[in-house]
Amino acid sequence: MDTFELRAPGVRLASPTEADIDRIAELCQDPEVQRWTTMPSPYTHADAESFVGDMVPSGWERGGPTWGIRVPHADGEQLVGMVGVDSRELRSAEIGYWLAPDARGRGLMHQAVGLALDAAFGQLDLERVEWRATVGNWPSWRVVWRHGFRKEGAVRGLGIQRGMRTDQWIGTLLADDPREPAAPWDGPTA
């Protein structure tokens, strides 16, 4: 599949390039990004090179795009995170994302995930998108909850993070599901 971009006011999603490697390596030092993702820790410059040079292109080739989240900045644009739709079998995929600390709380991830879901159910012609997160990752759940995902439950030992099994929440969104909360918010309010 050829790469393609997605846009909304104030945000552009585009496949990460070699020019993003230093910024990715910098952002992936954030303790919260490392806490909630399966990326290597410590995250090195070589990890960022491998991500951009190998993982991203192979994902696009098999129909699983990854986009860098870019916002306006004094120097033009700044990379502030990633969102990807990792292709699975039978028109299904898993969505994943992370965001820089200084970009959180501004609705950027909500916009980026919305764009990625539009592409998933549009250009990618998927029937189902799955979300998984380590139990307790309320910020991640809030993003997909707002888009209509249904939390199916917690599965013991479902995830593997740096060689250790973790309990994970799992949620799903089908192509014809409404893109609004399917149930009342079940997490912390502050």
Question: Residue 162 to residues 40, 50, 142, 158: CA-CA distances in angstroms?
Answer: 7, 17, 25, 13
d(CA 140, CA 133): 7
Q: In this predicted structure, what is the pLDDT of residue 102? A: 95
Q: Is residue 189 part of a domain?
A: no
Domain count, the chain: 1
Whether pLDDT at 143 is above 90:
yes
Q: Is residue 31 part of a domain?
A: yes
Q: In this predicted structure, what is the pLDDT of residue 88? A: 84
Residue 8's identity, in one-letter code, is A
Whether pLDDT at 71 is above 80:
yes
Q: Is residue 174 part of a domain?
A: no
Tell me the pLDDT tens digit for each residue of 145-174.
999 999 999 999 999 988 899 999 999 999
Q: Give 189's pLDDT tier (boundaries 50, 70, 90).
A: confident
Average pLDDT of 101-123?
Answer: 97
Asked whether the beta carbons of 66 and 48 are under 8 A apart, the reply is: no
Q: In this predicted structure, what is the pLDDT of residue 75? A: 84
Residue 158, helix vs strand vs coil: strand
Q: Is residue 143 part of a domain?
A: no
Name the residue range of residue 95's domain. 6-130
Picking from 74, 21, 69, 27, the residue whose alpha carbon sits closest to that of residue 49 is 21
Q: Is residue 185 part of a domain?
A: no
Beta-carbon contacts of 106 under 8 Å, excluding residues fewer than 6 positions away, are none
Beta-carbon contacts of 85 under 8 Å, excluding residues fewer than 6 positions away, are 64, 65, 93, 94, 95, 116, 119, 120, 124, 126, 129
Q: Is residue 43 part of a domain?
A: yes
Over pLDDT 70: what percentage of the chain?
99
Plot region of 107 (φ>0 → left; ψ -120 to 50 → alpha; else → beta): left
Whether pLDDT at 190 is above 80:
no
d(CA 137, CA 146): 15
Element (H, E) at 32: helix 31-36
pTM tops 0.85 = yes
Q: Give 139's pLDDT tier (boundaries 50, 70, 90).
A: very high
Q: Is residue 64 part of a domain?
A: yes
We report the CATH number of the domain holding residue 32 as 3.40.630.30
Q: Is residue 163 part of a domain?
A: no
Whether pLDDT at 91 is above 90:
yes
